[in-house]
Each structure stands twice: as C-alpha cells, then as structure tokens.
Amino acid sequence: MAKLYTRAGDAGETGLLGPARVSKDDPRVEAMGAVDELNAVIGLALVAQRENRVQDLLLKIQDDLFTVGAELAMVPGTAGAKVPRVAPEHVARLEAGIDAFDVGKITEFILPRGPEGLVRLHWARTVARRAERRVVTLSKHEPLNPEILRYMNRLSSVLYQLAVWVQRKSRKSPEHPSYEP
C-alpha cells in the first residue's frame, strides 16, 4: 500500500510543480489552498442542486478550478512544465453562465438563507471572493496569467447570479411554501 505521508513537509515547507520548495504560508500556497477549498465548497453546493443547468455549470467550474490550481502550483519560469492554462474561453464560459441565468434587475438585499442548495451557493460565493483576494495578493508578488485574475473575478459574480436565480425560483416552489426571503 502506498503511504500518503512523505514527511517532506514536516519543517513547514511544501513542493510546487517544479523543483522549488516554499513555506506553507507562502502567498502562492495560500492562493492554491483557497482555490482548493473553493472547489470543495462548490462540490457541496453541487450535490444540493436540483436543476440540471445549475449542476452542469458547477461541474464545469470545478474542472476550471482544477486548471486554476494547477497553474498556480507551477513555479514561474519552469521550463517544460505542461500544465493546462486558464484561457479567455474559461472567462467567456462564466460570462455565458451569468447571461444564461438572467434574474433581471436586483433591487433588494439578498440574504444567504432559504433552501440548502441556495445557502451553499452563497457560501461558495464568499469563499470565491476570499480565493480571489489570495490570488490578487499573489499577483502583487509574482507575475500571473492575467486570465486567472479575470476568471476569479467573474467566478464570484456567477455564483451570486446562481444564488439569486435559485432563490427566486424557490419562492415559487411548492416544496418551500413557507420560505420568504
């Protein structure tokens, strides 16, 4: 059986893609960890969704976040490293998702309460915003693919849009007759 521990991080360092080792509180590791946490929270939001359209978009976002994490884990300037990169198409997919779940004008404060799937989307939105802040911090220390910054900025917007869409849909649902936002 393969061992899941290596003891290589016992001194507070971790490896990146490439030969470099960095402190576990390095801005790059902080950004990677926040994106990883976001992917897990989106997984929780995903299992609570009933609409196939919402599920499909969340599945694509999880795949994209794996790409974001891989690119963040790559040591800048590592020659020959073949990791997927965040591209304009990733950002365009999020923008299409925002457009596809049109909720009209939002004139009220949106509170994170109601059906479980809705609240989990709000949780994912807040974790996405924190992950974006960690990526921005990293970008101040090291050059990053600008598409990562654009992607992370759109991601909290699409999660907000999905939460509002689910909330408005749940108001009309006979499954939640007592739910009033």
What are the tens digits of pLDDT across the range 116-170? 999 999 999 999 999 999 999 999 999 999 999 999 999 999 999 999 999 988 8
Q: By C-alpha distance, which of 70, 54, 173, 63 is closest to 121?
A: 54
Place of tokens 């649902």: 173
Q: What is the pTM of this model?
A: 0.88
What are the tens digits of pLDDT across the range 52-105? 999 999 999 999 999 999 999 987 766 556 888 999 999 999 999 999 998 988
Task: Please provide the CATH number assigned to the domain covering 23-75+83-171.
Answer: 1.20.1200.10
Place of tokens 């299992």: 47
Nearest-angstrom CA–CA distance, 52 and 150:
26
